[in-house]
Chains A and B, each alone.
Chain A
Amino acid sequence: MPLVNFSNVNFDQIKQSLKDYLKANSNFTDYDFEGSNLSTIIDALAYNTYITSYNANMVSNEVFLDSATLRENVVSLARNIGYVPRSRKSAVANISFSVDASNTSAVALTLKAGIVAISNKQVNGTSYVFSIIDDITVPVESSGVAFFNNVNIYEGTYVTQNWTVSSRNPNQKYYLTNSGIDTSRLKVVVRESQQSTVSRTYSQFNSLVGVTPTSTIYYLQEAPGERYELLFGDNVFGAKLQEPNYVTASYLTCNGPDANGIGAFTYAGRLIDNEGTVVTRGISLLATNSASQGGTSIESMDSIRKYSPQIYASQNRAVTAADYEAVVPQVYPEAESVSAFGGEELDPPAYGKVFISIKPYNGVYLSSDIKRNLQAELRKYSVAGIITEIIDLKYLYIESDSRVYYNSNLASSAAAVKAIVNQNIINYADSSQLNKFGARFKYSKFQNVIDNSHEAVTSNITNIVMRRDMAAALNQFAEYEICFGNRFHIKNHGHSSVYNGTIIGYNIKSSGFKVSGISETVYFGDSPNMDQKTGTIFLFKLRSPTEPVIVKRGIGTIDYVKGEIKLNPIKILSTTLTKGQPVIEISVTPYSNDVIGLQDLYLQLDTSKSIVNVVLDGIDSGDDVSGSNYIVSSSYSNGSLVRGPIVVETTQSTSTGTSAVTTSVSVSGGSQTTTTSTSGGTTY
């Protein structure tokens, strides 16, 4: 019998195949007994085969970008297709301060490159240093005060490294020896010699277009240990260095995202006046214009694997929607996830436009300034005549309600199990399975995360609801369209909310709000049509938490199959919930527990609204082996009729006059309006 399985990396299986071989081809019989000499020889042979298989497996894995696990190999493979992974990026803060130089004869003051400020308080046990990379000179005004206004300071230590080019060393390397470098702040200057006073600044190579034999460019590549190496031209693509050129590289070594959010600084810089005298007096406190932000980590291996082929495919040009998705993280590294689609996909189509949604690492939405800058940057890549429009994210939240059964013999306490499950849910919520466009919430995986949280967990019953937050345009008539992108589950087929004595509620659940013409707080409810595919939306108020009273019908439609709610023009006066802006939360049970983030919907597991309850599993714990007192948990969502604070009417009278809501309304019919424009049409 031949040995056929060469790729096996399981020692026992290799050993077994050797035994099988001996069984068929040898007179020796003692291979099965651990004490025999033959067993020892088989062990040695199997171990050798195992090591060889393991090495072959590792080597072949490291050859391909998809399977390489060592960063230096991933980087090296990406380098083959011209991709330089993004470096760590330092956080930027903006400060202003003044210097009283009235007692001196100085006419100008210079803030020297290097350290400028230190964070006042320790963040995560560390004080952070903020620097500038170029000298800043300001005049001393007639009042004798010099103002340093709106100075951008970058977190990190300013480092300078020098090399003298030597022709005796043909393999001379220019390694930046520190790790954690922000390469976007790298400055490379070359002088003829160390003594020369004439210097030329070299710029980083981006594209071969326009590169000549005399171009002063340098190439950058990542070296092992998250360090970087500078490469220079060869008199064909860029100027070649000659002996005794003197190369100076200045850069920041930073801490990336750890230094985000620092808003108080102490001066620690170096000021000199126009005569070269160091100024140490009259320096005001540092006023913070904006706290530090924008610090990011070095590009992860996952990201390199994802983006390097895309960047190669896009060839630094944004033509297709996928090109934009590849280019945006390059020009805006703080993008956690990007979704782009052409205007022709819209209904009605908007030709000549590309719509881009970006989820930044820090925060939820992009500021207008960043959007403007980003649009300007993207012009360098996009096809002439195409307009890029950066639209705000539309979040689709998932809320989970888990009842986790546990075996009390294996857990120290119920609270301990709950804490671990909660932590694992948070970890799952932060994972790359969600938090991206086109993500899918995988129900079975999620249940698995809970089951594997602790050995005491025996099972879990988890209910899922989807939620969208509808930002209400107060005191104006507006029509709304709320897309969930997932089919709705219909549990109430058109009955009242209390059916056969049981509160079944409606299919949608909303937080409270007030509308023009109705004095009480109202909520959304729905009633399916006969086809059970579409339905109508109505408003109801609560006489008590379990007693709804419908106050107005026909205020909108619901499409259960498409997962879409459309509201006719409605004038909302106030909402019970505010999240930076007045919002109405609308939740619904999905038809499938696997929820997808359709098109531009950004899927997030809302851990703050997710509930974990631990329940003693009496059967597995041995307290109730017959299951007589087993605590049953429903696999179907139930509970309150509404979301958020429950507001019941204070008087028994129901309001009338709601007809005003739908009259004298002038809104655009474009239900696909993608921004909250003044037209009143709002799509969520």
Chain B
Amino acid sequence: MPIQPAQRTGQGFIDISASFQINPLNDDLIALKNESAIARALKNLVLTVPGEKPFQPDVGSNVSALLFENFDKLTADSIQSEIEYTINQFEPRVELNKVTVEADFDNYEFNCTVEYYIVGIDAPQQQLTFALEPNR
């Protein structure tokens, strides 16, 4: 009998939800899948301060520190390059397309938009938008 090649089916990306709420359908924890799992991971990475993860002092970005620099275009550029570096360095599941950081002087916050493709699953270009504001 000929040997059958191993059947390999990708499960996609499944992460646990940080809300720890119960899915009423199966009484299990809510899972984040594919696009939402990756969007959450990107945000986690950007908001992780280097040294926060035990024994991995390099993981994370310095965005938190930059938020307390002068509120100007220069800082926005720094944040943008920091986000680009962090995602390229620590998130192999995405192919970064573009990162935009705009300083919103009225609300004293930076509006960030990350555009990326997901590697390995069939999905259109993703766009993740979030605001960063200094918060003591």
Cα separation A43 to B41 with both chains bound (whole Å): 15
Interface residues of A in 24-40 (CB under 8 A from B): 27-30, 33-38, 40
Contact between A36 and B37, CB atoms less than 8 A apart: yes
- B56 located at the interface, meaning its Cβ lies under 8 Å from any Cβ of chain A in the complex: yes
Chain A residues, Cβ within 8 Å of B59 = 34
**Min CB gap A199→B, angstroms:** 62
Chain B residues, Cβ within 8 Å of A40 = 44, 53
- B12 located at the interface, meaning its Cβ lies under 8 Å from any Cβ of chain A in the complex: yes
Interface residues of B in 41-63 (CB under 8 A from A): 41-42, 44-45, 48, 53-56, 59
Most buried by B among A12, A43, A50: A43
Q: In the complex, what residue of chain A is closest to B56 when comparing beta carbons?
A: A34
Contact between B11 and A27, CB atoms less than 8 A apart: yes
- A47 located at the interface, meaning its Cβ lies under 8 Å from any Cβ of chain B in the complex: yes
Cα separation A282 to B114 with both chains bound (whole Å): 95
Contact between B92 and A33, CB atoms less than 8 A apart: yes
Chain B residues, Cβ within 8 Å of A205 = none
- A41 located at the interface, meaning its Cβ lies under 8 Å from any Cβ of chain B in the complex: yes
Cα separation A46 to B56 with both chains bound (whole Å): 13
Q: In the complex, what residue of chain B is closest to A41 when comparing beta carbons?
A: B16
Contact between B41 and A35, CB atoms less than 8 A apart: yes
Cα separation A340 to B33 with both chains bound (whole Å): 76
Chain B residues, Cβ within 8 Å of A36 = 15, 37, 40-41, 44
**Min CB gap A661→B, angstroms:** 75
Per-residue CB proximity of A2-30 to B under 8 Å, as 1/0? 00000000011000000000000001111
Interface residues on B, range: 20 to 34
Contact of B31 among A11, A27, A41, A43 (CB under 8 A): A27
Contact between B37 and A11, CB atoms less than 8 A apart: no
Cα separation A28 to B14 with both chains bound (whole Å): 5
Contact between B17 and A35, CB atoms less than 8 A apart: no
Contact of B44 among A29, A37, A47 (CB under 8 A): A37
Cα separation A35 to B42 with both chains bound (whole Å): 6
Cα separation A43 to B93 with both chains bound (whole Å): 20
Contact between B56 and A47, CB atoms less than 8 A apart: no
Contact of B54 among A11, A28, A41 (CB under 8 A): A11
**Min CB gap B55→A, angstroms:** 5
Per-residue CB proximity of A36-76 to B under 8 Å, as 1/0? 11101101001100100000000000000000000000000
Chain A residues, Cβ within 8 Å of B31 = 27-28
Contact of A37 among B16, B53, B54 (CB under 8 A): B16
Most buried by B among A12, A27, A35: A35
Contact between A30 and B37, CB atoms less than 8 A apart: yes
Q: In the complex, what residue of chain B is closest to A35 when comparing beta carbons?
A: B41
Contact between A38 and B15, CB atoms less than 8 A apart: yes
Inter-chain CB contacts under 8 Å: number: 63
Cα separation A491 to B136 with both chains bound (whole Å): 78
Chain A residues, Cβ within 8 Å of B13 = 29-30, 33
Chain A residues, Cβ within 8 Å of B41 = 30, 33, 35-37
Contact of B90 among A27, A35, A41, A47 (CB under 8 A): A35
- B91 located at the interface, meaning its Cβ lies under 8 Å from any Cβ of chain A in the complex: yes
Cα separation A43 to B42 with both chains bound (whole Å): 17
Q: In the complex, what residue of chain B is closest to A28 when comparing beta carbons?
A: B14
Contact between B40 and A11, CB atoms less than 8 A apart: no
Cα separation A37 to B48 with both chains bound (whole Å): 12
Cα separation A12 to B56 with both chains bound (whole Å): 10
Cα separation A27 to B15 with both chains bound (whole Å): 9
**Min CB gap A272→B, angstroms:** 68
Chain B residues, Cβ within 8 Å of A27 = 11, 14, 31
Cα separation A38 to B18 with both chains bound (whole Å): 9
Contact of B91 among A33, A38, A41 (CB under 8 A): A33
Contact of A35 among B11, B12, B91 (CB under 8 A): B91
Cα separation A28 to B45 with both chains bound (whole Å): 19
Q: In the complex, what residue of chain A is closest to B44 when comparing beta carbons?
A: A35
Chain B residues, Cβ within 8 Å of A35 = 40-42, 44-45, 48, 90-91
Contact between A28 and B16, CB atoms less than 8 A apart: yes
Chain B residues, Cβ within 8 Å of A30 = 13-16, 37, 41
Chain B residues, Cβ within 8 Å of A46 = 54
- B66 located at the interface, meaning its Cβ lies under 8 Å from any Cβ of chain A in the complex: no
Chain A residues, Cβ within 8 Å of B12 = 29
Cα separation A171 to B44 with both chains bound (whole Å): 57
Per-residue CB proximity of B3-20 to A under 8 Å, as 1/0? 000000001111111100
Chain B residues, Cβ within 8 Å of A11 = 54-55
Contact of B40 among A29, A37, A47 (CB under 8 A): A37
Cα separation A33 to B40 with both chains bound (whole Å): 12
Cα separation A34 to B46 with both chains bound (whole Å): 11
- B32 located at the interface, meaning its Cβ lies under 8 Å from any Cβ of chain A in the complex: yes
Q: In the complex, what residue of chain B is closest to A46 when comparing beta carbons?
A: B54
**Min CB gap B128→A, angstroms:** 12
Contact between A43 and B32, CB atoms less than 8 A apart: no
Contact between B14 and A43, CB atoms less than 8 A apart: no
**Min CB gap A433→B, angstroms:** 34
Most buried by A among B12, B44, B90: B44
Chain A residues, Cβ within 8 Å of B40 = 35-37
A29 and B14 in contact (CB under 8 A), knowing A36-B40, A46-B54? yes
Chain A residues, Cβ within 8 Å of B56 = 34
Cα separation A36 to B54 with both chains bound (whole Å): 15
Contact between A47 and B54, CB atoms less than 8 A apart: yes
Q: In the complex, what residue of chain B is closest to A31 when comparing beta carbons?
A: B15
Q: In the complex, what residue of chain A is closest to B37 when comparing beta carbons?
A: A30
A28 and B15 in contact (CB under 8 A), knowing A34-B56, A34-B59, A37-B40? yes
A34 and B32 in contact (CB under 8 A), knowing A43-B54, A47-B54? no
Chain A residues, Cβ within 8 Å of B55 = 11-12
**Min CB gap A406→B, angstroms:** 32
**Min CB gap B57→A, angstroms:** 12
Cα separation A252 to B92 with both chains bound (whole Å): 69
Q: In the complex, what residue of chain B is closest to A26 when comparing beta carbons?
A: B14
Cα separation A148 to B17 with both chains bound (whole Å): 89
Cα separation A11 to B55 with both chains bound (whole Å): 7
Contact between B16 and A29, CB atoms less than 8 A apart: no
Contact between A33 and B93, CB atoms less than 8 A apart: yes
Cα separation A35 to B52 with both chains bound (whole Å): 12
Cα separation A30 to B45 with both chains bound (whole Å): 14
Chain B residues, Cβ within 8 Å of A38 = 15-16
**Min CB gap B48→A, angstroms:** 8
Chain A residues, Cβ within 8 Å of B53 = 34, 40, 43
**Min CB gap B41→A, angstroms:** 3
Q: In the complex, what residue of chain A is closest to B92 when comparing beta carbons?
A: A33
Cα separation A234 to B13 with both chains bound (whole Å): 74
Cα separation A50 to B13 with both chains bound (whole Å): 28
Chain A residues, Cβ within 8 Å of B44 = 35-37, 40
Per-residue CB proximity of B94-131 to A under 8 Å, as 1/0? 00000000000000000000000000000000000000
Q: A28-B16, A30-B15, A46-B54 are in contact. List 12 more A-B contacts (CB 8 A).
A: A11-B54, A27-B31, A29-B15, A30-B16, A33-B13, A34-B59, A35-B40, A35-B90, A36-B41, A37-B17, A37-B44, A50-B54
| Sample of 6 A–B contacts (CB below 8 Å) | A12-B55, A28-B31, A35-B41, A35-B44, A35-B91, A38-B16
Q: Sorted from nearest, which 7 A-B pairs have the closest CB atoms? A: A35-B41, A35-B45, A30-B15, A47-B54, A11-B55, A35-B44, A36-B15
- Residues of A at under 8 Å CB distance from B? 11-12, 27-30, 33-38, 40-41, 43, 46-47, 50
